């Protein structure tokens, strides 16, 4: 099930961009179904009635959406709302008395050894950098979605945008460029950190990513619960 969720989530941006590029409501409906499955699959696997009810509602709504211009509206949510949610996850751990998210993640990577000198200050700044980038990306995606034509948010509300942005331009940013920028920051920061702190507990970038993926759920859940002690 976890693999299916990862595959669906990874395939969504490409499918969403193609639905816009090809002006295909049918592919947009498929994208909405993919989003629904990402959210509902854990509950469906556990046989929870709320997930079953949600799946039934989604199945009933998809034929109606296929005949409506509103089919494009759900495609705007993942990029902007996902960025804002991730921004909050990083930013709220910067409050006094909390452990910055990346500090917590690096502690898990280095455990049981203590962090080298200078690392906590660096990871606090890095947490702030990620929060700022995600805020900018989410804001840009939301603005482009508002002004997109012919099926942007304002246009779907019957309001003529005073600045017209081609819908394909929104999709290129939200479904393609965002991921390039995030990947560039990850690779660039990794290389810079290896320069500043050459003594690392991993052998290379792919080993680093494997360890980050393994430790990220623990760090994220702790950040959501309480932020943790500084």
Query: What tens digit of pLDDT does each residue of 121-142 get?
Result: 999 999 999 999 999 999 999 9
Say yes or no: 21 and 57 in one domain. yes
Residue with tokens 């280095």: 110
pLDDT at res. 71:
95
Query: Which of 67, 93, 123 is at the close of a domain?
Result: 67
Residue 210 in this model has a pLDDT that exceeds 60: yes
Neighbours of 130 (CB within 10 A): 22
Give the Cα separation of 193 and 101 in Å (integer): 17
Q: Which residue in 67, 110, 70 sits closest to 197, CA to CA?
A: 110
26 plus 93 within the same structural domain: no
Same domain? For 139 and 208 the reply is: yes
pTM for the full model? 0.91
The rounded radius of gyration (Å) of the Cα atoms in the chain is 20
Closest CA to 154 of 84, 222, 69, 37: 69
Q: What is the mean pLDDT of residues 20-28?
A: 95
pLDDT in tens, 146-168: 999 999 999 999 999 989 999 99
Domain boundary among 67, 94, 122: 67
DSSP codes, the chain: -HHHHHHHHHHHHHHHHHHHHTT-HHHHHHHHHHHHHHHHHHHHHTT-HHHHHHHHHHHHHHHHHHTSGGGGGGGGHHHHHHHHHHHHHHHGGGSTTS--HHHHHHHHHHTTSPPPTTHHHHHHHHHHHHHHHHHHHHHHHHHHHHHEETTSHHHHTT---SS-EEHHHHHHIIIIIHHHHHHHHHHHHHHHHHHH----SSSSHHHHHHHHHHHHHHHHHHHHHT----
Same domain for 122 and 18 = no
Q: Please give the Cα distance from 212 to 189 (Å, whole number).
A: 14
The reply to whether 94 and 190 lie within a common domain is yes
The pLDDT value given to residue 153: 96
* pLDDT, mean of residues 65-69: 92
Rounded mean pLDDT, 94-108: 93
Structure tokens at 7: 């595959």
The candidate with the shortest Cα–Cα distance to 228, out of 87, 88, 93, is 93
pLDDT band at 229 (very low <50, low <70, confident <90, very high): very low
50 plus 109 within the same structural domain: no
Per-residue pLDDT band at 37 (split at 50, 70, 90) = very high
Claim to verify: residue 164 and residue 227 sit in the same structural domain: yes
Both 63 and 81 in one domain: the answer is: no
pLDDT of residue 104: 94
* 194 and 105 both lie in a single domain: yes
Model confidence over 172-194: pLDDT tens digits?
A: 999 999 999 999 999 999 999 99
- Do 31 and 123 belong to one domain? no
Please check whether residues 210 and 108 belong to one and the same domain.
Answer: yes
Domain count for the chain: 2
**Domain coverage including residue 102:** 76-230
Last residue of a domain, one of 43, 67, 91: 67
Q: Are residues 35 and 60 part of one domain?
A: yes
Over 60: is that where the pLDDT of 94 sits? yes
Q: Over 80: is that where the pLDDT of 227 sits?
A: no
């Amino acid at each position: 099930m976890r693999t299916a969720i990862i595959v669906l989530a990874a395939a969504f941006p490409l499918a969403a961009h193609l639905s816009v590029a090809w002006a295909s409501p049918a592919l947009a409906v498929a994208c909405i179904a993919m989003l629904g499955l990402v959210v509902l699959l854990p509950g469906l696997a556990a046989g929870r009635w709320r997930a079953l009810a949600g799946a039934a509602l989604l199945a009933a709504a998809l034929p109606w959406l296929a005949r409506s211009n509103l089919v494009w509206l759900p495609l705007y949510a993942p990029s902007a709302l996902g960025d804002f949610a991730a921004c909050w996850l990083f930013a709220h751990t910067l409050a006094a008395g909390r452990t910055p998210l990346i500090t917590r993640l690096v502690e898990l990577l280095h455990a049981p050894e203590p962090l080298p000198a200078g690392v906590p200050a660096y990871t606090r700044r890095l947490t702030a950098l990620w929060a700022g980038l995600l805020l900018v990306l989410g804001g840009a995606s939301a603005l482009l979605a508002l002004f997109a034509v012919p099926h942007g948010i304002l246009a779907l509300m019957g309001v003529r945008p005073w600045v017209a942005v081609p819908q394909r331009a929104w999709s290129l940013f939200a479904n393609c460029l965002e991921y390039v920028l995030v990947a560039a920051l990850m690779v660039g920061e990794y290389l810079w950190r290896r320069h500043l702190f050459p003594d690392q507990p991993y052998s290379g970038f792919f080993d680093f990513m494997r360890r980050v993926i393994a430790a990220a759920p623990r760090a994220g859940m702790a950040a959501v619960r309480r932020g943790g002690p500084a």
